[in-house]
């Protein structure tokens, strides 16, 4: 492991004003996105859609530090034969890869899941490195409900995240460690804070046991928000202060950057919350975005699978990338959305 190289990659991914585009939707997940815009879910359409994003120069060169890819995408070529990885690299961004095999039911813990995919991961990472990936992502899912989460669920997922992260670093790949406490349900913001603190403390303990170098990783956590069904939805300031309070308790300053997931928030809420955190400032880590739907919903709708709409799709993507770039420096305003 070359820690200097891993640290350099991690810092480039979260450079000032830059964040990460999560374009790693599985074939099943992108089916749901395409169904909403009436687009057939086939390989050509998936390629054309992602090529449209990766060729959006204003967004990719100025606001996107890294792109998380799906296995199919990292192997695909654009219509003109250029590998999609080369489009990303040509824009000065870093290609990454989703390597987990998804959340599966956790034995002995009804209603809870553990993320699988460790079997054969060392060999897959070697292959992905040859294909150009310099970082990877593994998502653990923690649900809040009656009598959950359990210690069994949090511990099992934290342990798997640590084993994954150690294998990534062994193979010259920066791990994005993603423990997501879901915002489904009717729990309040205090319950989200309690569960997220518990989760992050377990994750960093397991990372320590696995000898993961914190300087060579990125954390991708949820923000501290109430459940979507909670009667009280807190202000951006409440979310920012609660999230920073949790990070200060749980995340060592050696971690170069924290790139939040949007987790079902609206485009504008995800941007507003991030900006409010950065406006507070004085933090030891870069705070930025690693959004999927919150960066892509608008360009997907504008594109709608039609070649004549590519420019409109790119314009929508460039706008959302710019808004989140402003948020990553604490300079987003509501008026900027319509400027």
Q: Are 322 and 296 in contact (CB under 8 A)?
A: no
Q: Are 112 and 81 in contact (CB under 8 A)?
A: no
Q: Can you give the residue range of the structural domain that contains 250?
A: 3-338
> Ramachandran region of residue 17, left (φ > 0), alpha (ψ -120 to 50) or beta?
left
User: Rounded to an integer, what distance in angstroms lies between the CA atom of residue 52 and that of residue 317?
Assistant: 9
Summarize pLDDT for 97-154 with one digit per residue, the tens.
999 999 999 999 999 999 999 999 999 999 999 999 999 999 999 999 999 999 999 9
Q: Report CA-CA distances (Å) from 31 to 19, 51, 148.
A: 25, 17, 30
Summarize pLDDT for 176-222 with one digit per residue, the tens.
999 999 999 999 999 999 999 999 999 999 999 999 999 999 999 99
Summarize pLDDT for 227-271 with one digit per residue, the tens.
999 999 999 999 999 999 999 999 999 999 999 999 889 999 999
> Catalytic one among 51, 178, 180, 202?
178
Q: Are 51 and 83 in contact (CB under 8 A)?
A: no
Summarize pLDDT for 38-54 with one digit per residue, the tens.
999 999 999 999 999 99
Number of domains into which the chain is organized: 1
DSSP-derived secondary structure for 1-31: --HHHHHHHHHHHT-TT-EEEEE---HHHHH
User: Rounded to an integer, what distance in angstroms lies between the CA atom of residue 161 and that of residue 115?
Assistant: 9
SS3 (DSSP) at 124: helix
> Catalytic one among 12, 98, 137, 220?
220
Q: Report CA-CA distances (Å) from 194 to 11, 124, 199, 240.
A: 29, 35, 9, 15
pTM, to two decimals: 0.97
User: Rounded to an integer, what distance in angstroms lies between the CA atom of residue 94 and that of residue 163?
Assistant: 23
Is 178 a known active-site residue?
A: yes
SS3 (DSSP) at 75: helix
User: Rounded to an integer, what distance in angstroms lies between the CA atom of residue 311 and that of residue 24?
Assistant: 22
Count of beta carbons in the 10 Å neighbourhood of residue 254: 13
The pLDDT value given to residue 149? 98
Is 220 a known active-site residue?
A: yes
The pLDDT value given to residue 314? 98
Count of beta carbons in the 10 Å neighbourhood of residue 48: 18
Count of beta carbons in the 10 Å neighbourhood of residue 201: 15
């Amino acid at each position: 492991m070359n820690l200097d190289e891993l640290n350099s990659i991690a810092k480039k991914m979260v450079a000032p004003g830059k964040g990460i585009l999560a374009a790693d939707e599985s074939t099943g997940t992108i089916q749901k996105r395409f169904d909403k815009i009436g687009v057939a879910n086939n390989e050509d359409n998936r390629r054309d859609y992602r090529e449209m994003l990766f060729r959006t120069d204003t967004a990719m060169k100025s606001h996107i530090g890294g792109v998380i890819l799906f296995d199919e995408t990292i192997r695909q070529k654009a219509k003109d034969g250029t590998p999609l990885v080369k489009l990303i690299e040509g824009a000065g961004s870093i290609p990454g890869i989703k390597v987990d095999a998804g959340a599966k039911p956790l034995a002995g813990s009804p209603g809870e899941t553990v993320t699988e995919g460790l079997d054969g991961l060392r060999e897959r990472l070697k292959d992905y490195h040859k294909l150009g990936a310099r970082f990877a992502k593994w998502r653990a899912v923690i649900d809040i409900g009656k009598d959950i989460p359990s210690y069994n669920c949090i511990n099992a997922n934290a342990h798997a995240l640590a084993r994954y992260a150690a294998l990534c670093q062994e193979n010259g790949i920066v791990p994005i460690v993603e423990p997501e406490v879901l915002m489904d349900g009717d729990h309040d913001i205090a319950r989200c804070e309690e569960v997220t603190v518990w989760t992050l403390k377990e994750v960093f303990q397991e990372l320590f046991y696995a000898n993961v170098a914190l300087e060579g990783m990125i954390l991708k956590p949820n923000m501290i928000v109430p459940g979507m069904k909670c009667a009280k939805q807190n202000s951006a300031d409440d979310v920012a202060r609660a999230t920073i309070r949790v990070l200060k308790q749980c995340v060592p300053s050696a971690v170069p950057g924290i790139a939040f997931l949007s987790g079902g928030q609206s485009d504008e809420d995800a941007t507003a919350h991030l900006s409010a955190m950065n406006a507070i400032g004085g933090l030891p880590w870069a705070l930025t975005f690693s959004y999927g739907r919150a960066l892509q919903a608008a360009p997907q709708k504008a594109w709608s699978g039609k070649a004549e709409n590519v420019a409109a799709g790119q314009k929508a993507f460039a706008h959302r990338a710019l808004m989140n770039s402003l948020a990553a420096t604490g300079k987003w305003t509501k008026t900027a959305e319509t400027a």
